[in-house]
Structure 1
Amino acid sequence: MSAFFIFVFVMSFTPGPNTMMAMVSGQQRGFRSSLRLNLGMLFGMGFMGLMGALFAHWLQSTPTFLTVMKIVGSAYLMYLAYHIFISKPGEANNSTGGFRTGMLLQLTNIKGYLYFITGLGAFSLTGVLNNMPVKWLMMVLIGSLGTFAWTVCGQMMSKFYHQYYRVFNTVITLLLAFAAVDLWR
């Protein structure tokens, strides 16, 4: 059981496209204004988890679907990277703030699909925790805690961000570009 929770926490709190966007949103808008983005990620994560639970075998055995998801995910990550690169503190930047952005980011997040396919399929827990809906709910809630935590960290770094936004935006842009390329390994 501890292996499952270690896996879920590591996958939820380590950097990925969703956590980077949550952090940027926290820096640029603060926690309260980032709630829509986080709720979109929560909804997208829940839906992604349902698809992972229902179609795990098919997803693992259909390379065409994975290729399409990689294309869509890479394109979307590059779109977000561009908008972060050109953004300045205090600008209204819709690419990092809305419910739809959070949901779309999650639905194109290959790391998220692997999170659910592995977490739901590879780990056997004891008792009620082994029930698929319970495992799904735990993974969605812990995964969402990860994005909320990164939003809080972003807000805490806001003063630093405003002072060094060009460097920070460049680093985040490069990390998102790396994530887009890394999908193809």
Structure 2
Amino acid sequence: MDLTTLALFLPACFALNMAPGPNNLLSVSNATRYGYRTACLAGIGRLLAFSGMIALASAGLAVVLQTSELLFYAIKIVGAAYLLYLAIQLWRAAPQMQDESITAKVGILALARQEFLVAAGNPKAILVFTAFLPQFVVPGQPITPQFALLGALFLMLEWIAISLYAYMGLHMRRWFAEPRGKRVFNRCCAGLLSAAAAVLLMARRA
């Protein structure tokens, strides 16, 4: 793989990583509620889900999602339902309860599992890997090493996106120090998660 291909891939990939979505919204919310470090570590769950999707795309198994309408819509409905569940939890969360949860140091594993489930519940993600990464594979060269390199770069840029969104959430934490501000923020996040669930439900196979 030459430098020209990488020069085209990196900015396009980073734009994809930085696009607002359910997982990036979770990073903002987690940083606001539990702190920057916790939000970044929770993002490992998302990276694990994306690693599995990249492996599936590399193996060509993503064709199953493209050909199986039942499987695609089953994953889509489960993913949308989980987003709605998170939205309801945020909408109903009391600010004072959040303060208690912060002092109790909410388990990172639980938050990482949340990130994993949100990422894994979006069947369009693996189709993105199937459609996006292969565009930068150079014909005539071994495919597996190229795909592995592109996948590793994607995950590295995704980690940077997690850190940036968590940093944004850290500053929002200062802006929404009062209970009323926290309630407004939670309900905005709940509304955005609900919108993401609606978009996911309307998604069609490529």
Deviates more, 1:30-39 or 1:168-177: 30-39
Partner residue of 1:145 out of 146, 160, 164: 160
| Aligned 8 A contact 2:30 2:169 in 1 | yes
Partner residue of 2:150 out of 135, 153, 169: 135
Correspondence 1:118 to 2:131: yes
Number of the residue aligned with 2:174: 159
Q: How many residues align?
A: 185
User: Alpha-carbon deviations, 1:151-183, whole Å to 9, x = none?
Assistant: 111012111123311221111111110110111
Give the TM-score normalised by the residue count of structure 1.
0.86
Give the TM-score normalised by the residue count of structure 2.
0.78
Partner residue of 1:90 out of 99, 102, 115: 99
| Aligned 8 A contact 1:7 1:119 in 2 | no
Number of the residue aligned with 1:169: 186
| Aligned 8 A contact 2:62 2:126 in 1 | no
| Aligned 8 A contact 2:31 2:166 in 1 | yes
Correspondence 1:179 to 2:196: yes
| Aligned 8 A contact 1:49 1:140 in 2 | no
| Aligned 8 A contact 1:26 1:151 in 2 | yes
- 3-state SS of paired residue (2:101): coil
Larger Rg computed on CA atoms: 2
| Aligned 8 A contact 1:41 1:144 in 2 | no
Give the AA of the match of 2:79.
G
| Aligned 8 A contact 2:40 2:162 in 1 | no
Partner residue of 2:77 out of 62, 71, 74: 71
Tell me, in whole angstroms, the C-alpha distance in 1 between the residues paired with 2:151 and 2:127: 13
Give the AA of the match of 2:171.
M
Give the AA of the match of 2:111.
G
- Offset at residue 128 of structure 1 (A): 8.5
- Offset at residue 113 of structure 1 (A): 2.2
* Aligned 1:40-79 pairs, distance under 5 A: 40-54=45-59, 55-79=61-85
- Offset at residue 95 of structure 1 (A): 9.8
| Aligned 8 A contact 1:31 1:152 in 2 | yes
Tell me, in whole angstroms, the C-alpha distance in 2 between the residues paired with 1:120 and 1:40: 21
Correspondence 1:15 to 2:20: yes
| Aligned 8 A contact 2:49 2:116 in 1 | yes
CA-based RMSD: 2.6
Partner residue of 1:31 out of 22, 30, 36: 36
Deviates more, 1:163-172 or 1:129-138: 129-138
Tell me, in whole angstroms, the C-alpha distance in 2 between the residues paired with 1:153 and 1:114: 28
- 3-state SS of paired residue (1:162): coil
- The sequence identity of aligned pairs, in percent, is 24
User: Alpha-carbon deviations, 1:67-92, whole Å to 9, x = none?
Assistant: 01111110110011111112224142
